Amino acid sequence: MISNYAKNLKLYNSLTGKKEKFIPIQELNVGMYVCGPTVYSNAHLGNCRTFISFDLIYRYLKHLGYNVRYVRNLTDVGHLENEDDTGEDKVSKKARLENLEPMEVVQKYTLDFHSILNKLNTLPPSIEPSATGHIIEQIDSIKQILKSGFAYEKNGSVYFDIMKFNESKTYGKLSGRKIEEMLNQSRSLDGSVDKKNPQDFALWKKAEKNHIMFWDSPWGKGFPGWHLECTSMSKKYLGDYFDIHGGGIDLKFPHHDCEIAQSEAIDGKNPAKFWMHTNMLTLNGKKMSKSIENFILPNEVFNGNNKILSKSFSPNVVKFFIYQAHYRSVLDLSNDALIASEKGFKKLMSGFLSISKLNHNSEVSDFDIDLWISKCYAKMNDDFNTPMLIAELFECVKFINNVKINSKNLNTKDKERLAITFNDILFNILGFNSEISKVEKSNSQNELVELLIKIRSQARNDKNFTLSDQIRDELFKLGIQLNDDKNSSSFELI
């Protein structure tokens, strides 16, 4: 059953530049496609922000009662170094540098990506299709675009004909870029000599002599262009018209504008009702990017092994930090910001964990719980406004703390509802990891770990390595990792 709150949900649609009421194409089912990672290197924290934000959206839609099919692809082929379809395939290049098979590179970074998202407690998508697993579908899409007259073949490659497309349709709908401006901005020698115009993009690229990954096609051996996989795979799993298409803001142009053009060339339809984009995560005020070496990997934040932060921060704290900004705002990561988030998250968890111990003997409550719940949903319904939702949670923590010192009253019924709603928001909607949160909060557990570290240290001094290793391994199983220094050990939650 769909929740009553669902009818007030509004999403910001990048296509119209407005917040619009969310009415699914089918009453009970929602189709959502999110552009996934390119698996040739580790995902940085900026990438994670996008996937955490869409995990929140996925969780909330499910929480409201919708059946959601969430498709997030893995780009494992055909992404050339330069946006003008020149340069080397990034997977192949990495394979050569690391002396691996291309599919070893893909496997290595796919596993890394999954392990990071797992630590961040995001739900797996319903389908995670890969580009290499859908070459036939992509060749099919190219045939359809050629048939509709919006593409041309040249020397074994196939390009999308932007000028031809723009005669009857509009290219650049999402980014609002005008084709005339794009023409003026382009250098005449941009891209391949085979292209009619520099803005044309590759649907199929002929494999040059040393190219490692290639497939047979009606146009010879080659590989599909990057924009095509999302069109082919979203059509296959969600149909020609689905509810939400999302990704990072850097994908708006050219990737998503190209996707729209491809779909319109195939069947005349813009594929998604809502286009959603998450904003950038900056690092110390500058764009986080691998190409300018200004980035931090999630594991480096979790284990404290980096030159930027003074200590380690748990995945829950990182998630809380990300939720403190709206997904459409730029967010800046810094040591101070994470320390403040850690403090805030502990305060929130401490408030939640003390609900069960609250005195609830009064007849009446000094807290309008119905109003509070409806305010929480209103914040989520306002384009997933997590910072405002967190502010509501803190309002409630204030009340909880007052009940603790007996300056406010709470009755049994409200206490139960408070616990259930708080729990739902923290763990089902925001997706914090409840097990780790409990450990994070619990000082007594921390003290127990410190005690075990002391015993282990004594065992090591006594050369009783069986016992010391056993303590380390058992703690690891509980999600606690010990880091040994020369004279001491510290621990972190993993």
Q: Indicate the residue among 246 and 351 with the shorter CB distance to Zn ion.
A: 246
Give the other-Cβ count within 10 Å of 379's Cβ: 18
User: Which among 32-40, 108-116, 345-353, 421-429 is the span making contact with Zn ion, rule CB under 5 A?
Assistant: 32-40
272 binds Zn ion (CB under 5 A): no
Q: Which is nearer to Zn ion, 230 or 452 (CB)?
A: 230
Closest distance to Zn ion from the beta carbon of 286 (Å): 25
Nearer to Zn ion, 259 or 300 (CB): 259
In the window 102-161, what residues touch Zn ion (CB under 5 A)? Answer: none
Q: How far is the CB of 481 from Zn ion (least distance, A)?
A: 35
Residue 351: what are its φ and ψ, rounded to 5°? -60, -45
**133 or 479: whose CB is closer to Zn ion?**
133
Among 30, 35, 266, 425, binds Zn ion (CB under 5 A): 35
| Window of 31-39, 265-273, 326-334, 412-420 that interacts with Zn ion by CB under 5 A | 31-39
Residues 200-239 that bind Zn ion (CB under 5 A): 230
Q: Which is nearer to Zn ion, 262 or 437 (CB)?
A: 262
Q: Which stretch binds Zn ion (CB under 5 A): 29-37, 285-293, 304-312, 456-464?
A: 29-37
CB-wise, 11 or 35, nearer to Zn ion?
35
Provide, rounded to whole angstroms, the least separation between the CB of residue 353 and Zn ion: 41
Phi, psi of 69 (to 5 degrees): -100, 110
Interface with Zn ion: number of residues (CB under 5 A): 2
Q: Shortest gap between Cβ of 58 and Zn ion (angstroms)? A: 17
Quick one: 230 or 376, whose CB is closer to Zn ion? 230
All residues at 6 or more sequence positions from 382 whose CB lies less than 8 Å from its CB, including other chains: 10, 19, 388
Give Cβ neighbours of residue 435 (< 8 Å, ≥ 6 apart): 479
Residue 226 or 320: which CB sits closer to Zn ion? 226
Show the tokens assigned to 45.
């924290």
Closest approach of Cβ 251 to Zn ion, in Å?
6
Q: Which of positions 244-263 make contact with Zn ion (CB under 5 A)?
A: none
3-state secondary structure the chain: CCCHHHHHCEEEECCCCEEEECCCCCCCEEEEEECCCECCCCCCHHHHHHHHHHHHHHHHHHHCCCEEEEEECEECCCCECCCCCCCCEHHHHHHHHHCCCHHHHHHHHHHHHHHHHHHCCCCCCCECCECHHHHHHHHHHHHHHHHCCCEEEECCEEEECHHHHHHHCCCCCCCCCCHHHHHHHCCCCCCCCCCCCCCCEEEEEECCCCCCCCECCCCCCEEECHHHHHHHHHHHHHCCCEEEEEEEHHHHHHHHHHHHHHHHHHHCCCCEEEEEEECCEEECCEECECCCCECCCHHHHHHCCCCCCCCCCCHHHHHHHHHCCCCCCCEEECHHHHHHHHHHHHHHHHHHHHHHHCCCECCCCCCCHHHHHHHHHHHHHECCCHHHHHHHHHHHHHHHHHHHCCCCCCEHHHHHHHHHHHHHHHHHHCCCCHHHHHHHHCHHHHHHHHHHHHHHHHHHHCCCHHHHHHHHHHHHHCCEEEEECCCCEEEEEC
For the CB of residue 71, give the shortest distance to Zn ion in the complex, in Å: 10
Shortest gap between Cβ of 185 and Zn ion (angstroms)?
Answer: 23
Q: Residue 279 Cβ, how far from Zn ion at the closest point, in Å? A: 17
Nearer to Zn ion, 73 or 217 (CB): 73
Query: Considering beta carbons, is residue 151 or 230 the nearer one to Zn ion?
Result: 230
Q: How far is the CB of 47 from Zn ion (least distance, A)?
A: 13
Minimal distance, residue 245 CB to Zn ion, in Å: 8
Smallest distance, Zn ion to C-beta of residue 35, A = 3
Strand partners, 223: 205
Quick one: 46 or 315, whose CB is closer to Zn ion?
Answer: 46
| Positions in the binding site for Zn ion (CB under 5 A) | 35, 230
